[in-house]
Homo-oligomer: A and B are copies of this chain.
Amino acid sequence: MVNFDYQTPTRLIFGRGVVSEKLASVMNQYGKRVLITYGGGSIKRTAPGHDKSLYDLVKDTLTDKQVFELGGIQPNPKFNPSVLDGVRMCQDNDIDVILAVGGGSVLDCTKAIAGVAGTLKTKVTDNVEEAWDIVCGRKPTTAAVPIVDIITMAATGSEYDMGGVISRTETNDKLAYFSKLVFPAVSFIDPTYTFTLPVKQTLAGVSDCINHIMESYFCGDHIDMNDAFMEGAVKSLVKNVKIVLEDPQNYNARAEIFYATTLGCNGIYCLGNSPSGWPMHAMEHALSAYYDITHGEGLAIVTPRWMKHILDHSTGELHDQVVERIEKFGKNVFGAENAEASIKAIHDFYRNIGIPMTLPEVGIDDSRLAEMAKHVADNEGLDKAWAPLLEQDILEIFKACMK
């Protein structure tokens, strides 16, 4: 068991009806000047079982506040214009608290807005590059505007962590912004807001979360209790995603999925585990950077090929570890009998719920595999991962993803 230093101060308010029940009292803990951030129009539609849209519910709850709005935040949220616009609105209007309403991208963007607005001493319109330095981590975040969120998609776990992914189109940058100061103060999670989520997004959220867990499970030093926790979470996701595909408004299944994804990325599943290097994410980042595919689908495609590659190519003590990990995972999640069956079980699971499981199915041909493999090898440090991967290994894994 390795040492750890863990803290997640966020308050989670979870369940059916919690927004109308508690949003007003939570927001009264802050000042009068509120910036609401959101994405496209989904929060303006009325979800099943609700008598008004989430947008209207929020606005009706905040009638005693001075409310400003930043809408139109896109998936893969952009530094320019979204983060810059949000910071400017915070500065111009002396915002006391930001209320993010939407999915992980809205919240990721809000974290960057909150950290930059809290830290930057001068007008952002005059200091775009300093704002970017804060997002990049070249300048430390020293303060942040408090964040409350209502998260409407079960996927990234941004509602319970301190990071977000921000893209800057003009420089082709896409990077993670982190600061302990941007943990949401309060996250509202009502699973009924996922009842009408498109199937593709439900599946991508589940595979994203399963992969977050697997990146932590497959490591050298691990403990019994974490194994049980992670196997149990994946088993729950496997069971409950099948239920919601049949019955999208099954509350308990939606709730179990949301609960598992909320805990998915803040580390609580794997406290005391040794680092793994997150190899599947590293490879998928190249796929989605080069081809803009859906992150969760890319992860699902890479996962069984990575498992097979390290099973076939590891040696000595590492090989014993690899076999033990793959066997235990497959046995306890899928009832698989050995390592090969374990890999087949996760592949078949993804295929059977409807995730495209080859690169050609998501529009990627073999023309740039070598270029992507070199990019990953040069930039991701996978030669230092638990099961080390060199450029040739990465290329072979990408090739295996073709069919």
Contact = CB atoms under 8 A, between A and B. Distances in A.
A223 B256 CA distance: 7
A233 B228 contact: yes
A7 B6 contact: no
A225 B255 contact: no
A14 B7 contact: no
A10 interface: yes
A5 B231 CA distance: 25
Interface residues of A, number: 41
A271 B187 CA distance: 15
A130 B228 CA distance: 47
A3 B10 CA distance: 16
Interface string A7-21: 111111111111000
A333 B10 CA distance: 32
Contacts of A12: 4-7, 271
Contact of A224 (B15, B18, B225, B256): B256
Per assembly, the copies of the chain total 2
Interface string A243-273: 0000000011001100110000000100110
Contact of A228 (B1, B2, B13, B228): B228
A50 interface: no
B232 A236 contact: no
* List of 9 A-B pairs having minimum Cβ-Cβ separation, nearest first: A228-B232, A3-B15, A7-B11, A9-B9, A1-B255, A225-B236, A224-B236, A229-B229, A6-B12
A9 B232 CA distance: 25
